[in-house]
C-alpha cells in the first residue's frame, strides 16, 4: 500500500504523478489491465490542472503522436469514473469533463458559464468549513461534496 507523504508540500506535478500511481493500483486491484491506451489516458489526466472533455483529452493524445480513438478515450474515462478516480463535471448538453480525483482529498470547485461554456476553478476555506459544519449537524459521515456555481462569465456579462 502506498503511503502519502504527510506534511510535505507537493507540487502540482507531484500530485499528478501520485494520482497516476494511485489510479494504476486501483485499476489493477479491480481486476483490469493497465493497457497502453488506458495508461496514456491516465498520464494525460495526471498532467492537467482542471477539467477537460474526452474530445480535448483525445486531441492532446493525438498531438503527442498517439493514435488512440475517441471511443477508447470514452471507455477509459468511464472506467476511471466507475472506480472513483476522476471528478466528473457535467456542463450541459451531455458534455462531461473530467479531472483527477486526488487520493489526498485536495480539490477545487468550478464555476460554469451557461452562455459560452467556460469553466473556471476556485477554492474557498470558508466554504469547506461550512460544509464540515453542515455534515456534523446532519450526523452524516460525509465523504464528498459537489459544489458547482453557474451563471454568466465576465466576458458574457459585458457582451
Tell me which residue has its CB nearest to Zn ion. 50
From residue 33 to residue 72, what is the string marking binding to Zn ion with x (rule CB under 5 A)? -----------------xx---------------------
Site for Zn ion contains 129 (CB under 5 A): no
Is-contact 107 71, C-beta < 8 A?
A: no
Cβ-in-10-Å burial (0-12, 13-18, 19+) of 22 comes to buried
Nearest distance, CB of residue 142 and Zn ion, angstroms: 11
Nearer to Zn ion by Cβ, of 114 and 132: the residue is 132
Q: How far does Cα 92 stand from its chain's mean position?
A: 17
Is-contact 25 45, C-beta < 8 A?
A: no
- CA-based torsion, 77, 80, 85, 88: positive or negative: positive
Nearest distance, CB of residue 31 and Zn ion, angstroms: 29
Site for Zn ion contains 134 (CB under 5 A): no
Nearest distance, CB of residue 90 and Zn ion, angstroms: 13
Interface with Zn ion by CB under 5 A: which residues?
Answer: 50-51, 99, 121
Amino acid at each position: 500500500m502506498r503511503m502519502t507523504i504527510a506534511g510535505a508540500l507537493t507540487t502540482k506535478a507531484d500530485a499528478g504523478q501520485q494520482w497516476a500511481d494511485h489510479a494504476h493500483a486501483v485499476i489493477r486491484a479491480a481486476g483490469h489491465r493497465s493497457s497502453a491506451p488506458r495508461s496514456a489516458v491516465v498520464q494525460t489526466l495526471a498532467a492537467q490542472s482542471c477539467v477537460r472533455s474526452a474530445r480535448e483529452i483525445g486531441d492532446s493524445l493525438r498531438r503527442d503522436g498517439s493514435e488512440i480513438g475517441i471511443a477508447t478515450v470514452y471507455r477509459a474515462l468511464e472506467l476511471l469514473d466507475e472506480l472513483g478516480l476522476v471528478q466528473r463535471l457535467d456542463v450541459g448538453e451531455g458534455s462531461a469533463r473530467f479531472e483527477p480525483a486526488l487520493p489526498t482529498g485536495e480539490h477545487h470547485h468550478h464555476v460554469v458559464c451557461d452562455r459560452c461554456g467556460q469553466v473556471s476553478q476556485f477554492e474557498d476555506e470558508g466554504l469547506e468549513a461550512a460544509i464540515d459544519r453542515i455534515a456534523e449537524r446532519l450526523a452524516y459521515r460525509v465523504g464528498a461534496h459537489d459544489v458547482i456555481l453557474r451563471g454568466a462569465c465576465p466576458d458574457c456579462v459585458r457582451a
